[in-house]
Chains A and B, each alone.
Chain A
């Protein structure tokens, strides 16, 4: 296939066009030229059969902006045996994700302008989808010394985070946020009080007690959320909670938003679909950070997504290998892959009647684009043709062998889903077709 289809032109016919950015939800067609959306509308291709271009009959399936996944851990550089930018991009394409936002928790840590440049170049050379790197907030993710946020931003870091680590020291956090605000840089925080969760594998509860596992109270999240909200108020920094998982955290963030603070938040797909009991018999693929929560917390954050109080849904894609997951539960590493189950998990909420399809897609496209300042997440004329064709109803049972990512540690093995990506396009180029 040529880089941009036949003469770089693709005509999508008979699609249900959903553009959360404009509120569009209509049957129609979309024309791609030279990697960009050239035209879109309900009557496009009604009068004449499009010629001189590749024609894709969508048969009523959903054509939407490609997904933007704000929270993706890869193993490059340093742990390429788990995942490379290339293998993560395969998984992304198969999941309908056209932009992955990578976390700086690599070896070495992405805390130097030259390393941001390395990620961007590697992605350009090897990845099928767009890669937008985040850089560290503190050097070596140690929570002590701020990074060169100004130079990192110039090098192309789109936001700043210590990934799955909270900055314990409030004085450091205050100064880091102040400094980030100087450059209008987005800080992305992880909300777990590090001392409270030290050594814990699971949320403190009757279930954890029965399993006899080291556990931490769920309020470890709200404590950090409350602190960071106060520091945002003090410093004026733009702040995004990468993923929250409890009602208490959600309530605090909702109140902070109502006060007009520049705060947003995300939730990981596995926290929407699973609760603490899904750990079952010490199932290490469901050991995630923060840990799965009570059913009451799960239900609260589902409601948060439905109401729009939670802005984005992320995969929190975190590849782990047999070396780190074939362990006792307490010794196993945290994390689950998720790029290929992000869309099916979000569709699960739609099928369960929690929210409309456009609402769910907004949390995967428009909202992350807005928060991160990316150009994608829209079907507007002139926008890059980053597209996903979605069959929202196709039922399937997830099996690990279906996955494209190098690591297979999914938390959803054996789960019944309904709906997935059938084609994915980046810059008008087809990067995935479901066979």
Chain B
């Protein structure tokens, strides 16, 4: 099925962040993901790469989208999937993350997919568990599969990543999606710009080799890709941004601002969207410019690729 031979792709048996990936590993994952797009579009979507394997989805933060994407990817590769609801588990009864890890370890899973509000949680679990760990988002640190699926979406649409100008707009400060994307896009040769009010820019952001803009129109000038980030509701009530109406006025993507980007620029969003806050509905729903639905499809494909790559390292 796959065009890429069944040779090892990853040097480690975890995917904790883009930071620990090499360019070759990232490109190999994208290539493999490409092949799984075709498989996902076929009537028989099943493969046996993970036959007999167990994957546990351990989500300490609710995320229907990411969790179901991993579940579908695993099932298409033949794995058994267990979704652990944290609310119903002993974690909410005060168990430490390390205790949870050893409990899970005793169940002998092959792959653990973890989402946690604290940065470094996936790293901690990877040191305590015998199985492969995939970081599905830890605090404001990394969300590697999101960055990979974004890169795959861009590459399929524009044929390349190198030399493209990508503008990432919004709450950079709290965003793991932004951090993973900055790393991956820079690795793959894109020019990255960050656009945000100063309250939503992390300290020393310019040290990441990006250009920084507080004026969205200036920042969008010449952009091939406009990547919008979600602004959490609780961050628009005065601590970081005074109101959602002011945010939309200066940082919400509408036709007027989008006109400053390159003609034909693509709009991306990791979801879920706040319509009328960071993006206007007519752009979100315009299939000429918005690739938001495609990102979801690429999400399943790239997660199949990641699972496949990790399985190749298993004995």
- A interface residues, Cβ below 8 angstroms from B: 139, 144-151, 175, 178-179, 181-183, 235-236
Report the separation of the CA atoms of residues A148 and B240 in the bound assembly, to the nearest whole angstrom: 11
CB of A232 to closest CB in B, whole Å: 13
A-B contact pairs, 30 of them (CB 8 A): A145-B238, A145-B239, A145-B242, A146-B239, A146-B242, A147-B242, A148-B242, A148-B243, A148-B245, A148-B246, A149-B242, A149-B246, A150-B246, A150-B249, A151-B246, A151-B249, A175-B239, A175-B240, A178-B197, A178-B198, A179-B198, A179-B199, A179-B241, A179-B242, A181-B198, A181-B214, A182-B198, A183-B214, A235-B198, A236-B198
Identify whether the interface residues of A are mostly helix, strand, loop, or mixed.
helix
Report the separation of the CA atoms of residues A149 and B243 in the bound assembly, to the nearest whole angstrom: 10
Of B238, B240, B241, B243, which is in contact with the most chain A CB atoms at under 10 Å from its CB?
Answer: B238
A182 touches B249 (CB 8 A): no
> Are A145 and B245 also in contact (CB < 8 A) when A179-B197, A181-B198, A182-B198 are?
no
Q: Is B250 in contact with chain A by the CB < 8 A criterion?
A: yes
Q: Is B68 in contact with chain A by the CB < 8 A criterion?
A: no
Report the separation of the CA atoms of residues A175 and B240 in the bound assembly, to the nearest whole angstrom: 7
A151 touches B199 (CB 8 A): no
Give the residues in chain A near B214, CB-CB below 8 Å.
181-183
A178 touches B199 (CB 8 A): yes
A145 touches B237 (CB 8 A): yes
Give the residues in chain A near B199, CB-CB below 8 Å.
175, 178-179, 182
- Contact-residue bracket for chain B: 10 to 19
Report the separation of the CA atoms of residues A146 and B236 in the bound assembly, to the nearest whole angstrom: 10
Give the residues in chain B near A148, CB-CB below 8 Å.
242-243, 245-246
CB of B231 to closest CB in A, whole Å: 14
Report the separation of the CA atoms of residues A183 and B247 in the bound assembly, to the nearest whole angstrom: 12
- In order of increasing CB-CB distance, the 4 nearest A-B pairs are A145-B238, A178-B198, A148-B246, A182-B197
Report the separation of the CA atoms of residues A75 and B158 in the bound assembly, to the nearest whole angstrom: 61
Give the residues in chain B near A144, CB-CB below 8 Å.
238
Residue of A nearest to B203 (CB): A234
Give the residues in chain A near B246, CB-CB below 8 Å.
148-151
Of B199, B214, B240, B250, which is in contact with the most chain A CB atoms at under 10 Å from its CB?
Answer: B199
16 extra interchain contacts, Cβ-Cβ under 8 A, other than A147-B242, A150-B249, A179-B242?
A139-B238, A139-B242, A145-B237, A145-B238, A145-B242, A148-B242, A148-B243, A150-B246, A150-B250, A151-B249, A178-B199, A179-B198, A179-B240, A181-B198, A181-B214, A236-B198
B residues 58-100 in Cβ contact with A at 8 Å: none
CB of A31 to closest CB in B, whole Å: 41
Residue of A nearest to B238 (CB): A145
Residue of A nearest to B237 (CB): A145
Give the residues in chain B near A236, CB-CB below 8 Å.
198
CB of B288 to closest CB in A, whole Å: 30
Report the separation of the CA atoms of residues A229 and B26 in the bound assembly, to the nearest whole angstrom: 45
Give the residues in chain B near A178, CB-CB below 8 Å.
197-199
Report the separation of the CA atoms of residues A145 and B242 in the bound assembly, to the nearest whole angstrom: 7
Residue of A nearest to B246 (CB): A148
Give the residues in chain B near A182, CB-CB below 8 Å.
197-199, 214
Give the residues in chain B near A150, CB-CB below 8 Å.
246, 249-250
CB of A77 to closest CB in B, whole Å: 22
Report the separation of the CA atoms of residues A179 and B250 in the bound assembly, to the nearest whole angstrom: 12
Give the residues in chain A near B197, CB-CB below 8 Å.
178-179, 182
Residue of A nearest to B243 (CB): A148
B residues 219-245 in Cβ contact with A at 8 Å: 237-243, 245
Report the separation of the CA atoms of residues A151 and B243 in the bound assembly, to the nearest whole angstrom: 10
Report the separation of the CA atoms of residues A148 and B241 in the bound assembly, to the nearest whole angstrom: 8
Report the separation of the CA atoms of residues A85 and B237 in the bound assembly, to the nearest whole angstrom: 32
Residue of B nearest to A236 (CB): B198
